[in-house]
Amino acid sequence: MALKTTPTDAPATTPAPPKTGGDLRRFFNQHDNIVQLVAITALVFVVMAALSPDKFLRYYNFESISFIFPELGLLSIAIMLAMLTGGIDLSIVGVANLAAVLAGTLFHHLAPGASAGLGLGSALLGIGLALVVGLVAGALNGFLIARLKITPILATLGTSQVFTGLALVLTGGPALVGFPASWTFIGNGKLFGVAFPFILFAVLAAAIGFVLSRTAFGTRLMLIGTNAKAAVFAGLDTDRIVFQSYVLTGLLASIAGLILSGRTNAAKSDYGNSYLLQAVLVAVLGGTNPAGGRGSVLGVSIAVLALMLLSSGFQILRFSNFLIDFIWGGFLLLVIAINVARNRKRLG
- CA contacts within 13 A on the Cβ side of 308: 20
Listed residue (341, 222, 288) closest to 37, CA to CA: 288
Which CATH number do you get for residue 215? 1.10.3470
Task: Indicate the number of domains in the chain.
Answer: 1
d(CA 198, CA 336): 28
d(CA 40, CA 281): 14
Crossing angle, helix 120-142 and helix 181-188, to 10 degrees?
Answer: 60
Q: With bands split at pLDDT 50, 70 and 90, how would you rate the model's confidence at 16? A: low
pLDDT in the model for residue 19: 52
Any domain includes 336:
yes
Q: With bands split at pLDDT 50, 70 and 90, how would you rate the model's confidence at 248? A: very high
Q: With bands split at pLDDT 50, 70 and 90, how would you rate the model's confidence at 24? A: very low
Instruction: Find the radius of gyration of the CA atoms of the chain.
Output: 24
Query: What confidence tens digit (pLDDT) does each residue in 262-320 have?
Result: 998 888 888 888 889 889 989 988 888 888 888 899 999 999 998 898 888 888 888 87
d(CA 307, CA 120): 34
Q: With bands split at pLDDT 50, 70 and 90, how would you rate the model's confidence at 17? A: low
Query: What confidence tens digit (pLDDT) does each residue in 155-213 have?
Result: 999 999 999 999 999 988 888 888 888 888 998 999 888 999 999 999 999 999 999 99
Q: Are residues 85 and 225 in contact, defined by beta-carbon separation less than 8 angstroms?
A: yes
Q: pTM here?
A: 0.86
Q: Are residues 224 and 234 in contact, defined by beta-carbon separation less than 8 angstroms?
A: no
Listed residue (67, 336, 51, 273) closest to 184, CA to CA: 67
Query: Mean pLDDT in the chain?
Result: 85
Q: With bands split at pLDDT 50, 70 and 90, how would you rate the model's confidence at 1? A: very low
Any domain includes 23:
no
Q: Long-range contacts for 313-316 (Cβ within 8 Å, ≥24 apart)?
A: 313/44, 313/47, 313/48, 313/51, 313/52, 313/56, 316/48, 316/52, 316/55, 316/56, 316/61
Taken in order 294, 158, 331, 268, is the CA torsion positive or negative? Answer: negative
Across 60-69, 206-215, 231-240, 318-327, least confident range: 318-327
pLDDT in the model for residue 25: 54
What does the buried/exposed string (b/e) look like for 68-96 if buried means 16 or more CB atoms within 10 Å of the residue's CB? Answer: bbbbbbbbbbbbbbbbbbbbbbbbbbbbb
Q: With bands split at pLDDT 50, 70 and 90, how would you rate the model's confidence at 116? A: low
Residue scoring higher pLDDT (228 or 46)? 46
Does an H or E element contain 190, and which? strand 190-191
d(CA 80, CA 105): 30
Give the Cβ contact number of residue 256 at 10 Å: 33
| Residues 6 or more apart whose Cβ sits within 8 Å of residue 9 | none
Any domain includes 107:
yes
Any domain includes 8:
no
Provide the domain limits for residue 152: 36-47+55-347
Percentage of the chain lying above the pLDDT 90 cut: 42
pLDDT in the model for residue 172: 86
pLDDT in the model for residue 92: 95
pLDDT in the model for residue 39: 87
Any domain includes 20:
no
Any domain includes 323:
yes
pLDDT in the model for residue 261: 92
pLDDT reading at 343 higher than 80:
no
Q: With bands split at pLDDT 50, 70 and 90, how would you rate the model's confidence at 232? A: confident
pLDDT in the model for residue 114: 61
d(CA 343, CA 348): 8
Any domain includes 22:
no
Any domain includes 308:
yes
pLDDT, average across residues 72-93: 94
Across 177-181, 225-229, 322-326, least confident range: 322-326
d(CA 293, CA 264): 36
pLDDT reading at 12 higher than 80:
no
- CA contacts within 13 A on the Cβ side of 272: 37
